[in-house]
Amino acid sequence: MRIAFFSTKPYDRIWFEPMAKDYGYEFNFLELPFSAQTMFLAKGYDAACIFVNDHVDADMVDWLHENGVKALLLRSAGFNHVDIKAAKGKVAVLRVPSYSPEAVAEFAMAMLLTVNRFTHKAYGRTREFNMNINGLMGTDLYHKVAGVIGTGKIGQAMIRIFHGFSMQVLAYDPYPNENLDVKYVSLEELLQKSDFISLHCPLMEQTRHIINKKSIERMKEGVYLVNTSRGGLVDTGALIEGLLAGKFGGVGLDVYEEEEGLFYEDCSDEIIRDENLARLTTFPNVLITSHMGFFTVEAMQAIAYETLENAYALEKGLPLKNLVE
């Protein structure tokens, strides 16, 4: 099987190159993102392998189908960047539904602890021998209320972590898992009662801007919010208004709704024209990272393995267990 691999980073090759040899597959590693301008590079290949910020619309799906590309191999669990309806019956869309839920949940907790206890600022101060701790006071997590929105595998891992800190955990999901040791409540109740809120739901029409002006108004004063899922879950404009009003104790964002073209790239020598992102970086209680919650050895290994297993199933005509329909 010949696979065009888009949005390649050096760490992708570390895992995919040796595995590709084991499967006997030919990879063409391309640093360019998959787009309407670059999709022609997939011509002559059996599949295109893409990442979270490679968007595929209906016209692009038609082009892939007409040019013999049988599949889109997603190196992600989320699939909101692909027009699934357009792809049905034309191009198989295969995802990696579970690579390391613990990786993302642990990173979410790291963000929460960092933005709450200011360890990043303390590190910066002590590097310059400034041992003053003024302005670095946090709050205990012990016996506080944590709200988890979305109780899939990552949300479940987050619940286990919160329980490990002896926190009371509330959860919201339109499809409750009765086997979980957690109290399900309405979204409104979760927003009103939680001291810390962590987002772990997929980005769909129903969840886009689930954190908006009204939902922020329902939250407690001094609430902490962490998003390691998808940027579109949060209305950035409403978030900035809430920050300006002093609503939040802290905010951790590993994702951003306009991250395409910025995240995963070195923009340090460029003028950032995204005013909302630039504004967010000015708040002392906001921590932003570049969509790296998944980034562990175990997760990268699992992503490579599952992606190649998806390709193998397609090639051999086996059941496509990770097909998005």
Known catalytic residues are: 230, 259
SS3 188: helix
Burial 255-264 (b: 16+ CB within 10 A, else e): bbbebbebbb
Best CA proximity match to 61, nearest among 37, 31, 33, 93: 93
SS3 216: helix
SS3 3: strand
Best CA proximity match to 195, nearest among 222, 166, 213, 161: 222
Residues 21, 310 contacting (CB under 8 angstroms): no
Residues 219, 191 contacting (CB under 8 angstroms): yes
Residues 106, 161 contacting (CB under 8 angstroms): yes
What is the CB-side half-sphere exposure of residue 51 using CA atoms within 13 A?
Answer: 23
